[in-house]
Amino acid sequence: MALYITSINSGSNGNCYYVGNNTDAVLIDVGISCRETEIRMKKLGLDIKKVKAIFVSHEHTDHIKGVATLAHKYHLPIYITDATAKKLKLIKHLSKPFTANSSIAIGELLITPFLKQHDAADPHSFVVSYNDITVGIFTDIGTVCDNLTHYFKKCDAAFLESNYDDEMLENGGYPLHLKNRIRGSEGHLSNKQAVDLFINHRSKNLSHLILSHLSKENNSPQIAKALFEKYADKTKIIVADRYSATEIFTIKNQNIVEEIKIAKPKQMALF
């Protein structure tokens, strides 16, 4: 029993994350086109028919670009809060509301949304659970709040925003108001904020950490990965790409010891 996860795309140009088991899957955001989502899933060998729902974290374009088209084509429910839906033109008959901290069952998967701090109407992050395995999708977060630490501690794997390097942002070419928006309490997590969360609040069972939503201008995969690998221990550190999907990672509950069946030796005949 396992969960299978991949970042289909991650960055300011589009975000889409896949979490599923052998029969059911969900997409957290679809910020790239329907066609590109299909192409990347097919390349990975993922059957889009296993996707049973789309969950929308907030209304920014890099999270919702392909939602309506993909949902309409495959008749998928779109789980979205009322406040977020008011900001969008989505297919109303496919939209279903959710509320923070109330879990939703999608097949055998259990998806729990929770409030986060970001400059959007009603932004949420999500954890997806199955068979005592939990995967978190934590991006577009301005600060590490109690909600985030609470759910991060439960994770066997997580997509975690590590958006910018403080020095690169400070010395970069962005105007001051944009720099302040990014590093403000409703902006994005820096490498330092994310690694502090990782060091102080990770579960001993955190097998995979996928660094997500890296800024093209204010960060680099090498800087972010090197920082986290200093403290990784047994956790595998991956950087999600802004132009392609990651490989599929298999997440298991490290506390479950699979039963090993030992065949009884057969009694040999004497003659």
Predicted confidence band of residue 269 (pLDDT cuts 50, 70, 90):
very low
Return all residues near 179 (Cβ < 8 A) that are at least 6 apart: 169, 170, 172
In CATH, the architecture of 3-251 is 4-Layer Sandwich (3.60)
Q: Note the pLDDT tens digit of each residue in 104-118.
A: 999 999 999 999 999
Domain ranges of the chain: 3-251
pLDDT digits (tens, 9 = 90+) for 159-180: 999 999 999 999 999 999 999 9
pLDDT in tens, 19-75: 999 999 999 999 999 999 999 999 999 999 999 999 999 999 999 999 999 999 999
The yes-or-no verdict on residue 138 having pLDDT over 50 is yes
pLDDT of residue 231: 98
